[in-house]
Amino acid sequence: MDRFVNTPKDVELLIKYDIVENWLGDNGEVSTLINKLGKGVTISSNDFYFATVVRQLNPHCGTRWNKRKANLTQDYFNTPWATISVIAAVLPLILTCIQAVCYIISVMPSKNQKY
């Protein structure tokens, strides 16, 4: 478990999916407890129960695109309201660009037009 839990956010995720129950009250305390459980214990990195999962996850999480996507999700789009506000900000910009292009096209003289 020590390999999966490093921060209180990790504990929060485990609680969300009913993997761990928090009876200590604070996610930070649970994180510290799990990290201290393995202190002084050595485990072969190839023999533990989730070794195959870790081997598959590390290359996936290590790619640049997945790191950036995770950072965006955790830092900026962590609530539905953040996503809605970004859409509400970008949509008028797109519509303004479309309107500008349509205006330029309508003002430009066509080839068939005589002066």
What is the predicted pLDDT for the residue at 103? 94
Has residue 42 got a pLDDT over 80? no
Of 29 and 100, the one with more pLDDT: 100
pLDDT, one tens digit per residue, over 55-83 is: 888 888 889 999 999 888 888 888 899 99
Of all residues in the chain, the percent with pLDDT exceeding 70 is 92
Rounded to whole angstroms, the Cα distance separating 8 from 107 reads 59
Rounded to whole angstroms, the Cα distance separating 23 from 38 reads 20
What is the predicted pLDDT for the residue at 64? 93
- Residue with the two structure tokens 């970008």: 90
Has residue 19 got a pLDDT over 80? yes
